[in-house]
Amino acid sequence: MDQSNILTTALREVTDFLGEPNAYRAVLLLIFSIIVSYWLSRFLAKGIIKVAQKVAVRGESETREDRVVLYRQVETYLSVAVASVRAVVVAIAAYITWRIITPQGSQILGGSGAAAIGASAFFIVIAGQTLGILLRDITMGASMIIEKWFTIGDYIKVEPFINMTGVVERMTLRSTKLRSLSGEVVWIHNQQIQAVHVTPRALRTEAVDIFVHDRVAAEKAIDKIINAMPTGPTMLARPLRVKYAERWGEDLWRITVVGQTAPGREWLIENYFVNALKAIDEGKKKSEKLLVYEPIARFADPVADSQFKRAIRVKKEKN
């Protein structure tokens, strides 16, 4: 029997069920259980949300990185618990109602067991269309939580989608909520997440190498540009600063400027800052120019540097 025939049979059985003397009593009982389970789950969820908010505030006030990560993990688990509690409450209410309207409980309602079976068949057909999707979402969500792919507060990029990035605001076993840099809210089914790029501390560290003859004059010009750069959580999270200056030869200096931006704002350093440096020498003679070579912008994450130092093995050439 194909799916359409099953659905037709189920609908006919439901119609017969509603024709029973006490059928509406079962329907009212079902509606009542849904309302009670909804309000009970909502009450319990509010309690968990309040605890999660306190954990979030506590985590933001921490200065130690390991403590911040710990609080974010707890906040993630509490976020998952909100949806889980709701699902458990609804499942318990559904089970109790199911036991009443099924043939074992038909004496309570005084109805027909065959009609109840028809209602059950209808429920199975409808639920079968959604349970598979939900189970795939839940399985993927549970796997990501167990393996600690990311936590609430992390900045992530989701594959295989183009430009789907943002800060994780909420995560459940079924879905993940992101807040993009533009302020948009994005909801993703967990089964759609194939891979995740996590930006540590939601910061991109970049450096600019500047080659000059006159170190003192160059640092004064650099400081002037740095003071004009916009700062803030979604701009330059940490202002640019001269990290070090080292002599390259008799009359050449390499000055390295380092700063951190929010992901997606790298252009502030790669373009805006570099172009501002180039503008210093516009209209000047070659002998009067401050920059010897064009500035070099590059990523400068210290953890990535240390890991690549371990990974890259250059063999020494034999003489």
pLDDT value, residue 28: 65
| pLDDT bracket for residue 110 (50, 70, 90) | very low
Residue 6 has pLDDT above 70, yes or no: no
Residue 304 has pLDDT above 90, yes or no: no
| pLDDT bracket for residue 270 (50, 70, 90) | very high
pLDDT value, residue 130: 55
Tens digit of each residue's pLDDT (9 = 90 or more) over 253-265: 999 999 999 888 8
Tell me the pLDDT of the chain averaged across its residues. Answer: 76
The mean pLDDT value for 124-136 works out to 60
pLDDT value, residue 268: 92
Tens digit of each residue's pLDDT (9 = 90 or more) over 162-199: 888 999 988 888 889 899 888 889 999 998 999 999 98
Residue 112 has pLDDT above 60, yes or no: no
pLDDT value, residue 296: 93
pLDDT value, residue 211: 93
The mean pLDDT value for 270-279 works out to 92
pTM reported for the whole predicted model: 0.61
Residue 300 has pLDDT above 70, yes or no: yes
pLDDT value, residue 251: 84
Lowest mean pLDDT among 12-16, 110-114, 174-178: 110-114
Lowest mean pLDDT among 101-115, 212-226, 294-308: 101-115
Q: 226 or 87: which carries more pLDDT confidence?
A: 226
- What is the residue-wise DSSP string for the chain? --HHHHHHHHHHHHHHHHTSTTHHHHHHHHHHHHHHHHHHHHHHHHHHHHHHHHHHHHHHH--SHHHHHHHHHHHHHHHHHHHHHHHHHHHHHHHHHHHHHSGGGHHHHT--HHHHHHHHHHHHHHHHHHHHHHHHHHHHHHHHHHTT---TT-EEEEESSTT-EEEEEEE-SSEEEEE-TTS-EEEEEGGG--EEEEEGGG-EEEEEEEEES-HHHHHHHHHHHHTTS-BSTTSEEEEEEEEEEEE-SSS-EEEEEEEEE-TT-THIIIIIIHHHHHHTTTT--GGG-SBSS--EEEE--HHHHHHHHHH--PPPPP-
pLDDT value, residue 287: 80
Tens digit of each residue's pLDDT (9 = 90 or more) over 16-73: 555 555 555 566 666 666 677 667 766 776 776 677 667 666 666 666 666 666 666 6
pLDDT value, residue 224: 92
Residue-range domains of the chain with CATH: 3-146 (no CATH), 155-201 (2.30.30.60), 203-311 (3.30.70.260)
Residue 106 has pLDDT above 50, yes or no: no
pLDDT value, residue 104: 47
Handedness of CA 306, 307, 310, 312 (dihedral sign): negative
